[in-house]
Amino acid sequence: MKGYNNKIVWADLSSGEISIRSLPEQHYRDYVGGAGVGARLLYDETGPATDPLGPDNLLAAFAGPWNGTGIPGSGRHHMVARSPQTGIFGESNVGGSWSVRLKRAGFDGVVVKGRAEKPSYLWIHDDKAELRPADELWGKDTVECAAELQRQTHPGAAVAVTGPAGENQCGIAGVLHICTLQRMAGRTGLGAVMGSKNLKAMVAYGTKPVEIAQPELLSESLMEARKKIMEATKAFSAYGTPGGVENYERLGNFPLQNWKLGRWDKVKNISGIRMFDSIKNKRVACMHCPIACSHHLHDDDSPFGAIDAPGPEYESLGTLGGLCLIDDLPTIIAANELCNRYGLDTISTGSVIAFAMEAYERGVIGRGDCDGLELVWGNKDVLLPMIHKIGRREGVGDTLSFGVRRAAEILGHNSCEYAVHVKGLEAPAHDPRRFFTQALSYATGPRGACHNVSSSHSYEMAMTMPEIGIDAPLPPYSLDGNDMVTTKLQNVASLQDSLVCCRFISIGRGSVASDWLSWHNMVTGNELDMTEFLRLGERIFNLKRIYNTRLGLSRKDDQLPSRFTVTKREGEGLDNQLPPMGLLLSNYYKYRGWDDEGIPSKEKLAELDLKE
């Protein structure tokens, strides 16, 4: 097939051996690339006895057939490992340009096992890969380190780097990716996996073209597609994801006060509109993206000194801001940048700080436990010191460093009642009490609470995708059809994460599944029909499921925290609905072809030609 280099970098850090390998073509036919191929290798190479922070854990970073072809939104890749935060399937999807640099260097992916004797980094270029010493880089923050690595390798190289939080094996550490812009693979603690392997960074650069089966047809199709996507996303790209803050608060979807509060009259203070209209900024884009939804901020008058950094995304405004009731934009911007430099997931970081604030409110911890910090709601002065403590694993920061589930186990005193997570992963900034498909996706997502496992909330507002059988938006709080919509969108999301592409290219039907199928066939030379194409996503989602069921997960783990099933949000215009998880799960399992405990049936696995 075209679209692939049929070569991966396989690094055994314990021995220092770096080899170039080929995978069976059937891996690509069955699992596409990105998340799918990564999940297949993780399933084959790790098991219940694998220590997530041990040398036997596998860390894989894979591009897909679309990366490097110019398809809109294809500047992304997928990382997988057994998660040190949750202990189960760990994954994170990230944009930028690293995937394109990797493909143009001649490789489809990187697999890392073992543990280097000393700090090291991988330099991947021109069909070669080498392990280099990184002793002088250990301890540097991500931005400093990336600049030095580009000096040592190539000024246009893309750098995937773990920061001090990952070096300290902080369970909520991510992997920052830097080239023309910054992007974080934040979720599930993959930065800690890198730190545990003494791997500071993976640096990629190349100029080789990606071979395409039908380049002329693809080029012609993409010319029209870019225009259509730019027109459909015009309003979205002006403010990007932060532009949704005020609207989502109005809808009852924005997280407030550790998910207790229903309305907040200060939400405008941290909106994307306020941020981008009051601070000098420029729009920036991942490679091969016509949307350019991100913004880089420049502010010489910030209370924290000159700011020259990425603006926080919606999720960061929701967790560092709304969850903690902090309405000071300069503080949130500085906190976002500090998380990036430490290499911390902003979603989990904001969530654990909000959890600590509630523990403080309830008297479970006090000033003495927090080195004199007053963890009261809205206290902007504690946000940056707490990030330092978490990144360094100092004092209360060590308690919080693996997320709210571990912190609640340590603190006790019924703090599990307000530790908001699913399977150990904190909830992103979308409320499942507002969107029931989101409730079902949070509960059944392979990595835990995740909005990107389906991106389904948009389909309870306005979006449709008749090409896959979603002909009309699902009515709010609907039980009928929830199973179908959630399943189809989870399958599609798994496919997108394997191609690999961005969710946003489908905003306003800028592109649809029939476009993706055409592009995939043009790139690879395959002749798949829509049923076969969508079946790929279903197979990949089920593979992740059986990885987790092999670890002992089942229906008992597909549950929302009590805050989402017991606590009603109060406020003007809020409907106060609580998701009936028992019924939602039973319908969903039946639709998926799983048994009553959430285990894929032998018949379903055989239908998908999915071998355990």
> For 296, what's the count of Cα atoms within 13 Å in the CB-facing half-sphere?
12
Task: For residue 49, give every residue at least 6 positions away whose Cβ sits within 8 Å of its Cβ, in sequence order, or none.
Answer: none
Q: Residue 506 gets which letter from DSSP?
A: G
Please give the single-letter amino acid code of residue 466: P
Q: Enumerate the CATH 1.10.569.10 domain ranges in the chain, comma separated.
A: 234-426
Phi, psi of 294 (to 5 degrees): -95, 160
Backbone φ/ψ region at 427: left (φ over 0), alpha (ψ -120 to 50), beta: beta
Is the distance from CB of 383 to CB of 322 less than 8 angstroms?
no
Is the distance from CB of 371 to CB of 390 less than 8 angstroms?
no
> Nearest-CA neighbor of 12 among 55, 62, 51, 63?
55
Tell me if residue 517 falls in helix, strand or coil: helix
Phi, psi of 412 (to 5 degrees): 65, -145
Report the 10 Å Cβ neighbour count for 604: 17
Rounded Cα distance, 28 and 33, in Å: 6
Rounded Cα distance, 353 and 382, in Å: 9
Prior bond of 193 cis (ω within 30°): no
Please give the single-letter amino acid code of residue 291: I
pLDDT attached to residue 612: 67
Prediction pTM value: 0.98
Q: Can you tell me which residue has the tokens 């403080």?
A: 360
pLDDT 10s digits, 17-57: 999 999 999 999 999 999 999 999 999 999 999 999 999 99
Q: Which CATH architecture has domain 234-426?
A: Orthogonal Bundle (1.10)
- Cα dihedral 194, 58, 120, 136 in deg (nearest 10): 10
Phi, psi of 594 (to 5 degrees): -105, 160
pLDDT 10s digits, 520-556: 999 999 999 999 999 999 999 999 999 999 999 999 9
Rounded Cα distance, 401 and 410, in Å: 12
Is the distance from CB of 569 to CB of 262 less than 8 angstroms?
yes
Tokens of 469: 């059988």
Rounded Cα distance, 7 and 596, in Å: 41
Q: Enumerate the CATH 1.10.599.10 domain ranges in the chain, comma separated.
A: 436-607
Tell me if residue 183 falls in helix, strand or coil: strand
pLDDT attached to residue 575: 83
Rounded Cα distance, 405 and 416, in Å: 7
Tokens of 599: 């285990």
Task: For residue 147, give every residue at least 6 positions away whose Cβ sits within 8 Å of its Cβ, in sequence order, or none.
Answer: none
**The CATH number, out of the four listed (1.10.10.10, 3.60.9.10, 3.40.225.10, 3.40.50.300), of the domain defined by the range 8-205:** 3.60.9.10
Q: Can you tell me which residue has the tokens 């909520």?
A: 172
**Which alpha helices (H) appear in 452-600, and where do they start and end?**
482-499, 513-524, 530-550, 562-565, 581-592
Q: Enumerate the CATH 3.60.9.10 domain ranges in the chain, comma separated.
A: 8-205
pLDDT attached to residue 222: 98
Below-70 pLDDT ranges, the chain = 612
pLDDT 10s digits, 168-198: 999 999 999 999 899 999 999 999 999 999 9
Rounded Cα distance, 298 and 284, in Å: 13
- Cα dihedral 163, 165, 171, 174 in deg (nearest 10): -30
> Nearest-CA neighbor of 97 among 205, 7, 256, 236?
205
> Nearest-CA neighbor of 396 among 373, 362, 413?
373
- Cα dihedral 169, 172, 176, 182 in deg (nearest 10): -150
Q: Which CATH architecture has domain 436-607?
A: Orthogonal Bundle (1.10)
Residue ranges with strand state E in 26-119: 59-62, 76-82, 89-95, 109-113
